[in-house]
Amino acid sequence: MATTSIGSSGVTFPDATTLATSAGSAKAWVSYNATTSTILASYNVSSVTLNSAGKQTVNFTTAFSDANYCIAGSQAVNSGSGQTGIGIGDTGTSGTNPTTTACQIYTANVGGAYTNSTRMSAAFYR
């Protein structure tokens, strides 16, 4: 298996080709600041686009074989914002379904208003 080293920590990860063909491993993951679209750390994620408040698109470096992947995510709760939820794109007018090259992620507060978080994390499995 080919590997990719990240930084000087000695931690290695399977390369994109190995991940694309291995069942059960995260094919992409990202930790980012949704207020600035700044990626803090990632694997197989080329960028995060801030579409509007609480709505971001995670763009993959290497496309998935199909859009039937699983997403696991979390967010930091910003002081006073009462953020409670993280979701993925939908079939309604507010978003799009996940594609092989990108996935929209949404975060909302207690009142249901979309709001950005300073720390978001998402992992994508197929």
Q: Residues 37-65: pLDDT tens digits?
A: 899 999 999 999 998 888 899 999 999 98
Q: Is the CB of residue 67 less than 8 Å from the CB of residue 39?
A: no
Residues 6+ apart with CB under 8 A from 97: 67, 89, 90, 91
User: What confidence score (pLDDT) does residue 34 get?
Assistant: 87
Q: Is the CB of residue 38 less than 8 Å from the CB of residue 117?
A: no
User: What confidence score (pLDDT) does residue 9 get?
Assistant: 67
Low-confidence ranges of the chain (pLDDT < 70): 1-10, 13-14, 16, 19-21, 78-85, 89-95
Q: What is the largest CA-CA distance in the chain?
A: 47
Query: Per-domain residue ranges for the chain?
Result: 27-125
User: What confidence score (pLDDT) does residue 91 get?
Assistant: 44
| Model confidence, pTM | 0.76
Partners of residue 75 on adjacent β-strands = 120
User: What confidence score (pLDDT) does residue 115 get?
Assistant: 82
